[in-house]
Amino acid sequence: MKKQITLHHPDCSANRKDWLLICLVFLSFTWLSPVSGYSLSSPTIIAQEEKEKQLAVEIQSKLSPEKESQTQSKMVKQPEAQEKTVNNQENNKSRKESDNLTQEASTPDKNKTIKDWLEPWKKTLELSYVVTGGNTVTSSFSLGSTLLKTPNERDSYLLKTFFLRTHSTTINQKAVGSEDSFSLIEDKTRKLTAENYLIQAQYDHRPSGRLLTNVGFSWDRNKFAGIEGRALWTAGAGVILADSDSTKIKTSAGLSLTVRKYSGQSVSSFLGFQYVFSWKQKLLDSSSLETGFVFDDNIKHLSDWHYDWTTSLMAPLTKSLALKASIRIIKNNRPPEAEVPLYGPDNLDTGLTVLVPRRKVDTFFTTTIVLNF
């Protein structure tokens, strides 16, 4: 009998499983080994890591208040620095402005003209010219100006001028020849018959209520009244009696210093007393009536007084043009004396002169065109 020989081959699937298990064990060993840079987790390592974390947290907790305080101080310092910069800028601006003002005050503006200086003033110009011809030839010219400045309710400045000159021409005729045949010869002589000048400046101040104080200066000349020159300085106080849109009344009194030169006399000076009254009243149709009275007296010689009284009526023609009629009366109680040639009983000139008093009253009546600008 034949024997069957059977060969037993090992199981290949079992061998493969063993090899895979061996490989996995090897890979896990190599992955967890120190060679790969990692070590197995141990309790000591974990404890060290936790200590390091706690130290980092403590350091951060210590540093955070310091940072917060620094940031708060920075936040506080920033507004202070901004305020300082703003204050410095304002101070620099104020210094620059003050420097500019001082420079403007110290160095006058070269481009400033008379028109710029007159801009804040209220200006009034009065003009009159009268001419007559024919059998009598006369001419009269007068010019007056008023500048008024009121920078505020308490102060006012007044500048006033007046100029008047009158000429007359005398015609002397004579015939040369016979009664039937003659020629007429005329001799004309022109001479100055009236001359008057006035310059006045005054400053008024209202300290309170209706109380008024003032200082002023005036100079006048009336050659035909014997006044070659008269300067007057005044200072006084007064009361405003009415101050409305339609009525303005004020009066004042004070002391005066007069320096004058009369014809044929030397220069004299004396202290005096002055009284002033002014009244301005608006009438219908925007017309106005104005009067001013000035009385001056010599304290040493009370009979040596004089007054100047002017009354005027003004009617507007346009907004800037008006017609004004005024009368001015000047009285001098002790006028200067005038030299008059002395003639004998036979109407012959003796070559001598005598002193006679001049007339006490001078009267001026004028009609003028008024320009307001």
d(CA 350, CA 1): 220
Q: Which residue has the tokens 């987790």?
A: 41
Query: In CATH, which superfamily holds the domain spanning 116-372?
Result: monomeric porin ompg (2.40.160.40)
Q: Which residue has the tokens 């304290």?
A: 299
Which amino acid would we find at residue 224? F
Which helix H or strand E contains 81, and what residues bound it?
helix 43-106
Tally of CA atoms within 13 A in the half-sphere of 202 that contains its CB = 21
Residue 90 three-state SS: helix
Residue 330, pLDDT score: 93
Residue 189, pLDDT score: 86
| Nearest Cα to Cα of residue 291 among 309, 276, 273 | 309
Residue extents of the structural domains in the chain: 47-90, 116-372
Q: Where are the beta strands (DSSP E) in the chain?
A: 122-132, 137-149, 155-177, 182-205, 211-222, 227-243, 247-262, 267-282, 288-298, 305-316, 321-332, 337-343, 349-357, 361-372
Length of the chain counted residue by residue: 373
CB 164 within 8 A of CB 196: yes
pLDDT in tens, the chain (373 residues): 444 444 444 444 445 556 666 666 555 555 544 444 444 444 555 566 666 667 666 666 655 555 555 555 545 445 555 555 656 666 666 666 665 555 555 445 556 677 677 778 889 999 998 888 877 788 999 999 999 999 998 999 999 999 999 999 888 888 888 888 888 888 888 888 889 999 999 999 999 889 999 999 999 999 888 899 999 999 999 999 999 989 999 999 999 999 999 988 899 999 999 999 999 999 987 899 999 999 999 999 999 999 999 999 999 998 889 999 999 999 999 999 888 888 888 888 888 988 888 899 999 898 999 998 8
Residue 200, pLDDT score: 96
Q: How many CB atoms lie within 10 A of CB 251?
A: 15
Residue 23, pLDDT score: 63
| Nearest Cα to Cα of residue 200 among 308, 332, 119 | 308
Residue 28 three-state SS: helix
